Structure 1
């Protein structure tokens, strides 16, 4: 990392950067379309490249100054589908105000389709620099970064309610955790059009040796939607086979409120909030851990879904929900 902080800080906070990226092959699950999680991965990589271009790569921030670069907020709108092998042009524009204690950026993704340049997605991103206690730092961070360096991610959740006594978590090391009867999940979902999932946080979802990273929450959001749809009797595979329907995501957002640590039990609650004209539905994801007998909400997010009918290996079109889907979203388990 450069030792002259002024040249590094000015491009970080004032200059835009551009980089061309391709989505990972892993993100193409249905035909050749790329899911919302991997669109957000492109956004994350563009922000990391912005730090590299400013002479402050994540590796150097951690190794030299014990600062972990953490995305703490992500609010993304997908305007056009991204396909396998697309070359996506990303542009990162600094948006940090003088009073902000979080680094803020606006990210735009564009691509070429049939000779036209299209805006594929836009996103608002927040970044914190988390001081690490894992090993002592070798030097002090640049003074200009002091207001963005925090001892803990998020603001915490004051007055968190007492938690019901957690169930034995040993079975969480198997499969995908549990969605069955659990005292804490029962407490969190009671009276709501909601689905709950308890799961042990594994190390591949974490970074900087201790905590769940924002991309891990993206994976959690994708996973809980899959489990919710299966629980309501409209699993992704079922609607693919019955109707050639797939979920599509025009909007997703996640914000870290506190820290969730490696091997803690994470309680994820997925609540259907609104169905708009039988065309899209919006759900909220809230994640909790139990510490010292109290619930601590570590993240919250929203995701909007529609359904598209696959017309060919290249094309799809949006459809309105049928009665089966409407009943499931309303709280009933669909049966046919």
Structure 2
């Protein structure tokens, strides 16, 4: 509807004159065009998450997947130092490196040593870090900050500096530990010179060094437990042990699972402590699988053989981790 005033047609707001309406009808998009534009906008928005994860994905491919694939390929060859410059000297040997590996007594010894280290280290780290976290959780505010920093410090300290200090502690003739034992009229202990005690000595040092990060994880989990649970348990007459058993530990089950998985993976790759302190000795008693791989590749320059050992270790870690997740899933389903 329009009003004619002085030869001019005025149209009320929201209403178009017939000519304008016909013009709009000529530019109406074809059926389905709006849906295509909406789909295009959705696709463009869908690129944003991939753009954010692209750098980390490229790093994972470059420094994770590609080296694993190369190690797998090299493990089927006889690549050594002489064959690096002349590819014609590199031969494909199939499973020869793997059969040699499983017939190698030193590799068997390194696997046994690694199992012993895992048996000492994983329970030790779990017990020490959980105990320290429980004690720190009850500390006062100012003392809590200082103790938390003190226990976390070894995790960020250089391994060489730690090894120098612990080397002096473990020294047989004038080390601090044996000096303390002499005060108690106890004979000196060959901490790093005896095949039996050397494993325990390295495990003790690694437990001390590796517990700091796990203490922080347990502290975060402890502080996330609602205090109402403890108040209700105290009203019911539950003691400290019952509160720990029926409230704290069940509420920490996910943190405990995470710590066990990551600690087990780390101890299966046990390397730095024996490399710096004992170099695998005495009598190969502290040669772990990782140290065996390092010596084979960088001391004897047998890269194909070392790659076979690294891939076997990789498979062991994958299988052990998969078993842990499978058992955890079965526990949750039950």
TM-score by length of 2: 0.23
TM-score by length of 1: 0.23
Using CA pairs below 8 Å that are at least 6 residues apart, which structure has the higher relative contact order? 2
Query: Would you tell me which structure has more helix in proportion to its own residues?
Result: 2
